Amino acid sequence: MSGGLLDALPAEERALLRRQRHPDWVQPMLATLSERRFSDPDWLFERKLDGVRGIAFRHRRKVRLLSRNRLDMGRYSSIVDALADQPAEDFVVDGEVVAFRGRQSGFSVLQQLGRGGRVRIAFHVFDLLHLDGHDLTRLPTRRRKALLREALRFDDPIRYLHHRREHGERYHREACEKGWEGVIAKRGSAPYTGGRSTDWLKLKCVLDQEFVIGGVTDPRGSRTGLGAILVGYHEDGELVYAGKVGTGFNQELLRELRRKLDRLERATPPFTRGIEHLPGKDVHWVRPVLVAQVGFAEWTRDGRLRHPRFQGLRTDKDPREVVRERPRAAR
């Protein structure tokens, strides 16, 4: 074991460990959107990062970095190399790949990687799921984070995601004042369970989420590429139209995105609800397989986006899993 970390656990926590061969995959735990702002001594509060989720697997000298839908993220070679250089040789960690250009960070910066200019990346690690032949997911959150801090060496580009205890309301105010995405609240006593859970809550400062692209309009005037993308989300087996997104693009992105969408063209709209709001002309329908990250001011009463802005394409999200995020309270 890594320095006897697991041997040193209290007996009641050692009883929660399970012997496990190095796993091929661990289903990531997902946070539920909440409008509740609260402080509680049993909860931990982390900064909500604006990047790409990654599950990292290290077994002997082999490292795999996978997205939440199991796509290979080996292109982030500096992260893979740093994980391969860790003293521990059998672990699985959960984290987020975040890009920086100067002091600016976020998903839109990550989209610029490889397009020129200096973009730095870091892997912010916040959970430890497997260590030295043991499944740790039944341990409480606060214990997994304590073990994580000791099990890995944190030098750039590997960073430990710090948290605050109890004072969630104060931390959320600070996050919003600093222009962050928001805060993730995690129940300190909870195990790690795959899928969406109210043991992890998203407390956002700004509204944004993923949407499926179902159409594109032609450009007007001096604009090139496209006028707007038409986006929606899945609900009860239908694709619901949510509105047009026409800002957030530069000229290169307009042309690149149009080329991608032209290859997906189809004769009929993929949307089956909200179709009374669809534009009636200069529209090209596409197969709903591309996922866009979109920021917006609010939802209108008729279920459309107000002041939406394109932030980038997401290759780490399955379009079939894109739904409207609706706030829920913790249990």
Distances (CA, A) of 190 to 187, 249, 283: 5, 41, 48
Summarize the chain as % helix, strand, coil (round to 5): 20, 40, 45
3-state secondary structure of 206: coil
- Which residues fall within 8 angstroms of residue 8, CB to CB, at 6 or more apart? none
Rounded-to-integer distance, Cα 226 and Cα 64, Å: 37
d(CA 325, CA 331): 18
CA gap 210, 319 in Å, rounded: 9
Catalytic residue numbers read 48
Say how far apart CA 309 and CA 142 lie, in whole Å: 36
